[in-house]
């Protein structure tokens, strides 16, 4: 079974917006690690994904002063669970949540809320992080899309797309 998580330290916050009492953090891209083991720790594949992290009934303690900003480190909490430098995927939780992060420019990002969810907007680029695996790349691939173009074939894998190189029969 594949597990996924957003790695905070390799993600880019491009802006925030309010929706009533909620706050949407726009990550473009967020670095998503997929692994059969522990995302962010065990071998797997890395994905650059545009996504929105919505924090419900938010209390904002601190936000960066300028956008876009690269995130350098942080942790996410939901109830009693804590993820160091990771935000689990899929994410749709109720109850106490918090995101404490540091922007690369040393500015804090601290928000708390009564729930959180992530909505994937698009896969911006995918790249394997396995040493002996093929490097996969794509641009503007929408989740759940199905199309063939040139030497690439897209297959839906949960909320993300993965590209597989098709072997050319003339290559022997």
Question: What is the reported pLDDT for 161?
Answer: 33
- pLDDT value, residue 162: 34
Average pLDDT, consecutive stretches of 10 residues, N- to C-terminus, the chain (172 residues): 89 96 96 85 84 97 95 96 95 97 92 96 56 37 29 30 31 36
Calpha distance 145→163 (Å, rounded): 12
According to the model, what pLDDT value does residue 105 have? Answer: 80
Q: Which two structure tokens, joined as six digits, stand for 41?
A: 């720790």
Length, in residues, of the chain: 172
pLDDT of residue 123: 63
- At residue 25, the pLDDT reads 97
pTM of the predicted model over 0.75: no
The closest of 83, 90, 67 to 9, measured between CA atoms, is 83
- Cα separations (Å) of 56 from 19, 50, 151? 9, 20, 42
Q: Which two tokens stand for residue 2?
A: 């594949």
Nearest to 113 by CA among 93, 92, 91, 97: 97
Q: What pLDDT was estimated at residue 156?
A: 30
Exposed/middle/buried for residue 152 (C-beta within 10 Å: 0-12, 13-18, 19+): middle
What's the pLDDT score for residue 124? 54
């Amino acid at each position: 079974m594949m597990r996924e998580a957003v790695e905070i330290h390799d993600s880019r916050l491009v802006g925030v917006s309010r929706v009533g009492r909620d706050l949407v953090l726009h990550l473009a891209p967020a670095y998503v690690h997929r692994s059969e083991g522990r995302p962010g720790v065990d071998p797997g594949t890395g994905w650059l994904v545009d996504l929105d992290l919505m924090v419900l009934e938010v209390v904002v303690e601190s936000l960066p002063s300028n956008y876009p900003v690269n995130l350098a480190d942080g942790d996410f909490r939901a109830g009693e669970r804590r993820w160091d430098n990771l935000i689990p995927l899929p994410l749709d939780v109720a109850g106490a949540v918090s995101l404490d992060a540091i922007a690369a420019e040393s500015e804090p990002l601290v928000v708390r809320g009564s729930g959180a969810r992530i909505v994937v907007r698009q896969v911006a680029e995918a790249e394997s992080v396995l040493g002996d695996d093929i490097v996969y790349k794509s641009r503007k691939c929408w989740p759940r899309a199905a199309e063939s173009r040139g030497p690439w074939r897209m297959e839906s894998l949960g909320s993300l797309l993965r590209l597989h190189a098709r072997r050319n029969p003339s290559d022997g």
